[in-house]
Amino acid sequence: MGNKQTIFTAQQLDSYQDCTYFTRKEILRLFDRYRDLAPQLVPLDYTCQPDVKLPYELIGSMPELKDNPFRQRIAEVFSDDGEGNMTLDDFLDMFSVMSEMAPRDLKAYYAFKIYDFNNDDFLCKSDLEKTLNKLTRNELTEDEVRMVCEKVIDESDLDNDGRLSLEDFQTMIVRAPDFLSTFHIRI
Amino acid sequence: MAMLIATWKHCVYVFSTGLEDEVDTFQEEHERERHRGKRRDGERAKKKKRGNGEGRKRASRAGREEEKLQARREKKGRRKKSSSDQEAEGREGDEADQPTTKSSKAAKTRKNVKNEKTRKVEKEEKEDEADDEERNRKRKKKHGSNKKEENVEDGNTVKEKAGEVKKKKHKKVVETSSEKETSEEEDNEEEDSEEKEVRPETLTPEELEMLKEAVDERKKLIQGLRGKPWAMKKKLVTLRESQEFVDKYEGALGKGKGRKLYAYKVMMTKKWMKFKRDFENFKTACIPWEMKIKEIESHFGSSVASYFIFLRWMYGINMILFCLTFGLVMVPEALMGRPYGTIPRKTVPRAEAPSAMDFAVLWDFGGYAQYSVLFYGYYNNQRAIGWLKFRMPLSYFLVGVGTVAYSYMVVIRTMARNANESGVGDDNSFNFSWKMFTSWDYLIGNPETADNKFASITTIFKEAILEEQESRKDDNIHLTRFLRVLANFLVLCCLAGSGYLIYFVVRRSQKFALDGLENHTWWERNEVNMVMSLLGMFCPMLFDVISALENYHPRVALQWQLGRIFALFLGNLYTFIIALMDEINLKREEENIVKFNITTWEASHYNISASENSTSPPVTIQPADVPRGPCWETMVGQEFVRLIISDTMTTYITLLIGDFLRAVLVRFLNYCWCWDLEAGFPSYSEFDVSGNVLGLIFNQGMIWMGAFYAPCLPALNLLRLHVSMYLQCWAVMCCNVPQERVFKASGSNNFYMAMLLVILFLSTLPAIYTIVTIPPSFDCGPFSGKKRMFDVIQETLESDFPAWFSKVFSSASNPGLVLPFILLMQNEENKKKNKLAALKAQMDLEEARKAASPSAEHQKNNNASPDQEADEEEDRGRSQRMYHSKNGRSPPPHRHYGQLPATRAPVPRNYPHGNQGSAGYLPSFPRENEARMHRVPSLQRH
């Protein structure tokens, strides 16, 4: 089979398989995808761990992400520097979490981070408003947005502090029928 | 090597946090990260300053030692700081260190390299290593009660060990040191002094146990690593460290005498893991159409893709069914059975011979196709064929049963799995939250679909807001009601009409068949199938129009629509079957006449031959000339095959005309048309997920129904699905537009499955009915000459097994015994499953109140008090669990009986059946019917 690949050492591939939900083939395919974004930047040899980062502009232009209203958040959450510039490791990490195989808890954790726009570890009203506006492309009136956000907090805020903590979020999302099937990017 | 070095950077950090995290929730991880970040920022400035002195080399070792002591004094206060601080320092130290290190590539790792060096030096001081090791262990033990602490402690010991590993690795690094490095080292001084080699010989069994535990823990960590919400770097480092730890200490564990087995076990596990991974890789590589589906998914969202995934799953099932029928029925008969033309049932009759090769006839599966392995009638009733002594009739029967059994199994298992996977669902308490956080489909990768999705999400929210604000008043409820009643009435009329039409057509076709098919046109010959297909095509459209009257919410409307189509298909199918039954009865009457004729024919034939030449053996009659019965089984098989074929054809033609032609017209006529075709009336078609799924399901139902009489059906279906896959993929991508109202895909999966199950049930019913009640034809098929098809089992038992076996079997197979037993097995199965869940919950619970140990003891003592129902149940569960853990599979019968009074019921019922009652196949049990009735519900709680 494709034993001739020299991009990674066998050991590296094994480690990646241990750290992600991907098989060997998928990792190589992801690498190809990654490299396709900027062939001039990404070397074909990863055995010596080159320090390569792709800027967010490139990551966000992937077909998988480019129509996603939350693409910037996704990139920010998974990138090491928090600004959406991704190394291959971050890239693999991102798609591993978004893959079918990832468990609900892990997905919920990252979903929370994605919806937490201001990184304060709580989903407060402004986060919810941003989420909603992104979802509907600002089609709702302000009153409607406010009302929906109030409803959401009303429903899910278990400790009554006016914002959603990770715990609240998990309790809510774990029971959602659609979460697993929609929080998922096939690569 | 460079890569290895690079990963050292985080080692201290990781080891200080790694094991804690293992038991922590994501939450804690989260919190910690936050604090860490803040603190790190604070430390940064401080560290920068300190780094200045670095770069100076030590003259001698003695000097270094001195310095170290001093530094230790200075840094005592700092020692208490958290490991995260150390990590941060480490980083900063590295930054400043740069010029002194040799490996230029791994610039960041310098500090670690130095750490290693200094540690290496210290290593020489190790004298009381064993003592230290022991101290470690003891410390660990002390904290056993407090979980958290234990884990921290664990982390420390592990850290120390890792330190050793590192020491070894870096022996070759040139000694370059600095004040800073040494002072850094002081932080770790305490630990370093304890970092010694572990010599297995010096360890007591307890320590070994500890070590083993630690190793196991690491292994667990490695396995669960991918589920950790960490950055990849951290994961990689943790992985490496853990692996090294495991490697090293597994080796240590294996060295001692008597531990060879352990080493061997470890080695085998490793190999097994490797094999498993390779196999996993191979398996995913074997999944077909992954990329195709992915592409569709990104264009049309998850609901359309769910159809294709369903199609693929169906393909898999049919593949298995095909293998069964092909490998165990068709191939053996074709290879080992008597060849074509040797016996009447394998020969085209003389009358049909001239047209037997015509395409029109073959297309109808008459002629040579009819007298081939494709159909029931071809098979011979010879008990064993070929040099393998292959039991053909038995195999035929068992494959028929196996097909159905396998289908049931797969469908039910898939349903169960789906049910597990999907959330609790349908709870309305998080209505808005779910809408907000789960409505975006991350799979969407196509601007058009994204636009639709945005629009639909907006609508959903608006609707929800409206609903929330006030329960809308229907302005004219009477009109709506009237319209709905009217709509349902119309639909009922449609259904009845289509049912009657099919019945009418089938009856008419029987008349045609009696006249002889040759006298009729193509349409008249294929009327039944065509009418069924056309009905299946147009009625749903009609329903769609009718449902516009009803003014339901789209989702409710969809359900109604599905329900109606389901009813239509089912009605059609059953009308078809009923008509077919009529035909079977006709054929059987015909058969009786033929039978009578044959005896007279034979008699006359033999008379003639006897009178002509009494000495010679009877004149060989050409098998083609022998008169034969109508063979209703083949007829049924043919009907189904034709149905499938015409169904397939209609599907494809609809696809081509309805989707492709329409798309082409819309696309190209748009240039010269008076209104906008693309946006206006015809527009492009949408992919109708529900309709297609229903079509697929019914198609499968027909396969299940007809497969017994036409072994070629699974093969045909496989072909059909294969072509469908490509054709529909292509059609969807090239001529459909994404749906405007996008429905959620999840949940519907099990909805489809449920429909499939219903269809499976409904389609096996007629098949079973015919098998059980109607005697097989006398001159065709593997069961000819028997009274009933299932007699083949009896026959096999009597002739292929020793006498006692058939005796035992016949007594054991009496329904009074079998049914309760099956019920019990299921009960047991459920219990096992539930018990696992219960066990898990129990563990959680116990952990939650871990301190309250008396309760456990209390439970243990409960064995003595049988009147406490619940506790008793628990205990039983536990004992059984232990049993399972020891034994893997299900317990042997008597054990099983001992645990469950419930299983004792059937035996008394068996006595009236008589003579075999005393046989030794089951121990006799006290009669406890009452207890059973009482028991069963309580068992099910688990």
pLDDT, tens digit (0-9, with 9 covering 90-100), for B819-849:
777 777 777 777 777 777 777 777 777 666 6
| Greater pLDDT, B244 or B201 | B244
Return the structure tokens found at B299: 């264009």
CATH of the domain at A57: 1.10.238.10
Query: pLDDT at residue B787 above 70?
Result: yes
Overall size of chain A counted in residues? 187
B678 with B794, same domain: the answer is yes
Enumerate long-range contacts of B112-115, CB under 8 Å, 24 or more apart. B112/B5, B112/B8, B112/B9, B112/B11, B112/B12, B112/B166, B113/B5, B113/B8, B113/B170, B113/B173, B114/B176, B114/B177, B114/B178, B114/B181, B114/B184, B115/B12, B115/B90, B115/B166, B115/B181, B115/B184, B115/B185, B115/B188
B128 — pLDDT class (breaks 50, 70, 90): very low
Residue among B2, B26, B297 minimizing CB distance to A186: B297
Q: Give me the helices (H) in B143-230, please.
A: 147-169, 179-187, 189-194, 205-224
Q: What is the mean pLDDT of residues A4-30?
A: 83
Cα distance between residue B928 and residue B905, in whole Å = 6
Residues 873-892 of B with CB under 8 A from A: none
Cα distance between residue B544 and residue B538, in whole Å = 10
B322 with B217, same domain: the answer is no
Count the alpha carbons within 13 Å of A47 in the hemisphere toward its beta carbon: 9
B248 with B329, same domain: the answer is no
B736 in a structural domain: yes
- C-beta atoms surrounding B440 within 10 Å: 21
ipTM of the complex: 0.88
CB contact (8 A) between residue B458 and residue A128: no
Instruction: Give the closest-approach CA distance of A131 to chain B in angstroms.
Output: 8
Contacts for A96 with CB less than 8 Å, ≥ 6 apart: A19, A20, A21, A22, A102, B226
Query: Which candidate, B666, B717, B724, B718, places its Cα nearest to that of B692?
Result: B724
Cα distance between residue B416 and residue B423, in whole Å = 13
Cα distance between residue B70 and residue B179, in whole Å = 11
Return the structure tokens found at B66: 């001195």
Cα distance between residue B119 and residue B96, in whole Å = 20
- Stated pTM of the model: 0.62
Cα distance between residue B865 and residue B876, in whole Å = 13
Position B802 scores a pLDDT of: 76
Count of structural domains within chain B: 2
| Greater pLDDT, B172 or B293 | B293
| Domain, as residue range, for B414 | 292-423+433-475+630-800
Position B143 scores a pLDDT of: 45
Cβ burial of B864 (10 Å; 0-12, 13-18, 19+) is: exposed
Contact B407, B760 (CB under 8 A): yes
Mean pLDDT of chain A: 84
Cβ burial of B783 (10 Å; 0-12, 13-18, 19+) is: buried
DSSP state of B125: T
Query: Which candidate, B433, B437, B434, places its Cα nearest to that of A152?
Result: B433
Count of structural domains within chain A: 2
Residue among B231, B281, B433 minimizing CB distance to A155: B433
Overall size of chain B counted in residues? 942
A65 in a structural domain: yes
Q: Which of A15-19, A31-35, B315-319, B607-611 has the highest mean pLDDT?
A: B315-319
Positive or negative: CA dihedral B623, B626, B631, B637:
positive
Position B798 scores a pLDDT of: 78
Whole-angstrom Cα Rg for chain B: 39
B258 with B296, same domain: the answer is no
A67 with A31, same domain: the answer is yes
DSSP state of B78: G
B366 with B256, same domain: the answer is no
Which residues in A lie closer than 8 A to residue B235 (C-beta atoms)?
A: 19, 93
Query: pLDDT at residue B106 above 60?
Result: no
A1 in a structural domain: no
Query: pLDDT tens digits, residue range B542-575?
Result: 888 888 777 776 667 777 888 888 888 888 888 8
Return the structure tokens found at B761: 């049930």
Q: Is the minimum CB–CB distance between B242 and chain A shorter than 8 Å?
A: no
B735 with B665, same domain: the answer is yes
Position B187 scores a pLDDT of: 40
Position B532 scores a pLDDT of: 79
β-bridge partners, B737: B686
Cα distance between residue B940 and residue B493, in whole Å = 45
B252 — pLDDT class (breaks 50, 70, 90): low
Query: pLDDT at residue B448 above 60?
Result: yes
Query: pLDDT at residue B31 above 70?
Result: no
Query: Which of A52, A74, A98 lies at the terminal end of a domain, its last residue?
Result: A98
Among B92-96, B202-206, B479-483, B774-778, name the one with the lowest average pLDDT: B92-96
B231 with B376, same domain: the answer is no
Cα distance between residue B587 and residue B914, in whole Å = 41
B825 in a structural domain: no
Query: Which candidate, B501, B582, B536, B523, places its Cα nearest to that of B364?
Result: B523
Contacts for B467 with CB less than 8 Å, ≥ 6 apart: none
CB contact (8 A) between residue B298 and residue A19: no
Q: What type of residue is A183?
A: F
A15 with A62, same domain: the answer is yes
Q: What is the DSSP pairing of strand B384-385 with strand B390-391?
A: antiparallel
Cα distance between residue B543 and residue B536, in whole Å = 11
Query: pLDDT tens digits, residue range B197-221?
Result: 445 556 677 777 788 788 888 878 8
Task: Mutate one of A67, A125, A174 to test the B interface: name it (highest B CB count within 10 A).
Answer: A67
B261 with B335, same domain: the answer is no
B767 with B650, same domain: the answer is yes
Q: Is the minimum CB–CB distance between A52 and chain B shorter than 8 Å?
A: no
B671 in a structural domain: yes
B941 in a structural domain: no
B299 with B438, same domain: the answer is yes
Cα distance between residue B314 and residue B319, in whole Å = 8
Query: Which candidate, B235, B251, B162, places its Cα nearest to that of A14?
Result: B235
B690 in a structural domain: yes
DSSP string covering A91-103: HHHHHHHTSTTS-
- C-beta atoms surrounding B152 within 10 Å: 16
Position B257 scores a pLDDT of: 54
A29 with A92, same domain: the answer is yes
Position B444 scores a pLDDT of: 80
B516 in a structural domain: no
Position B848 scores a pLDDT of: 66
Position B722 scores a pLDDT of: 93
A187 in a structural domain: no
Query: pLDDT tens digits, residue range B379-426?
Result: 888 888 878 788 888 889 999 999 999 999 999 998 888 777 654 545
A139 with A170, same domain: the answer is yes
Contact B434, A112 (CB under 8 A): no
Q: What is the mean pLDDT of residues B491-503?
A: 87
B261 with B322, same domain: the answer is no
Task: Measure CA of the first residue to CA of the last residue in chain A; give whole Å.
Answer: 21
Among B1-5, B207-211, B344-348, B647-651, name the one with the lowest average pLDDT: B1-5
Contacts for A25 with CB less than 8 Å, ≥ 6 apart: A2, B281, B284, B285
Contact A100, A141 (CB under 8 A): no
Query: pLDDT at residue B271 above 80?
Result: yes
Among A36-50, B122-136, B699-713, name the one with the lowest average pLDDT: B122-136
Cβ burial of B424 (10 Å; 0-12, 13-18, 19+) is: exposed
Q: How far is CA B668 from the centre of its chain?
A: 45
Q: What type of residue is A181?
A: S
A74 with A119, same domain: the answer is no
Query: Which of A74, A98, A122 lies at the terminal end of a domain, its last residue?
Result: A98
Residues 105-164 of A with CB under 8 A from B: 105-106, 109-111, 115, 121, 128, 131-132, 135-137, 139-140, 144, 147-148, 151-152, 155-156
Contacts for B129 with CB less than 8 Å, ≥ 6 apart: B196, B197, B199
| Greater pLDDT, B862 or B383 | B383
Percent of chain B whose pLDDT exceeds 90: 5
Q: What is the mean pLDDT of residues B632-650?
A: 88
B883 — pLDDT class (breaks 50, 70, 90): very low
Whole-angstrom Cα Rg for chain A: 18
Residues 735-774 of B with CB under 8 A from A: 744-747
Position B748 scores a pLDDT of: 58
Query: Which of B779, B800, B821 lies at the terminal end of a domain, its last residue?
Result: B800
Position B341 scores a pLDDT of: 77
β-bridge partners, B736: B685
Q: What type of residue is B228?
A: K
B297 with B254, same domain: the answer is no
A114 with A69, same domain: the answer is no
A46 in a structural domain: yes
Count the alpha carbons within 13 Å of B451 in the hemisphere toward its beta carbon: 4
Return the structure tokens found at B583: 């035909």
- C-beta atoms surrounding B795 within 10 Å: 16
Mean pLDDT of chain B: 68
B9 in a structural domain: no
Task: Mutate one of B240, B437, B457 to test the A interface: name it (highest A CB count within 10 A).
Answer: B437
| Domain, as residue range, for A26 | 10-98
Contact B364, B523 (CB under 8 A): no
Query: pLDDT at residue B91 above 50?
Result: no
Position B11 scores a pLDDT of: 41
DSSP string covering B251-316: HHHHHSTT-HHHHHHHHHHHHHHHHHHHHHHHHHHH-TTHHHHHHHHHHHHHHHHHHHHHHHHHHH
Query: Which of A33, A67, A98 lies at the terminal end of a domain, its last residue?
Result: A98
CB contact (8 A) between residue A151 and residue B444: no
Q: What is the mean pLDDT of residues B147-151?
A: 41
Query: Which candidate, B156, B160, B252, B159, places its Cα nearest to that of B212?
Result: B252
Query: pLDDT at residue A64 above 50?
Result: yes
A14 — pLDDT class (breaks 50, 70, 90): confident
Query: Which candidate, B588, B589, B574, places its Cα nearest to that of B633?
Result: B588
Q: How far is CA B7 from the centre of its chain?
A: 38
Cα distance between residue A161 and residue A144, in whole Å = 22
Q: Does residue B685 sit in helix, strand or coil?
A: strand
Q: What is the mean pLDDT of residues B178-189?
A: 39
A2 in a structural domain: no
Position B408 scores a pLDDT of: 92
CB contact (8 A) between residue A90 and residue B445: no
Query: pLDDT at residue A87 above 80?
Result: yes
Query: Which of B780, B800, B820 lies at the terminal end of a domain, its last residue?
Result: B800
Contact B370, B635 (CB under 8 A): no
A93 with A143, same domain: the answer is no
CB contact (8 A) between residue A69 and residue B440: yes
Residue among A25, A135, A179 minimizing CB distance to B285: A25
A2 — pLDDT class (breaks 50, 70, 90): very low
Q: Give me the helices (H) in B707-814, please.
A: 713-735, 748-773, 791-800, 803-812
B37 in a structural domain: no
A81 — pLDDT class (breaks 50, 70, 90): confident
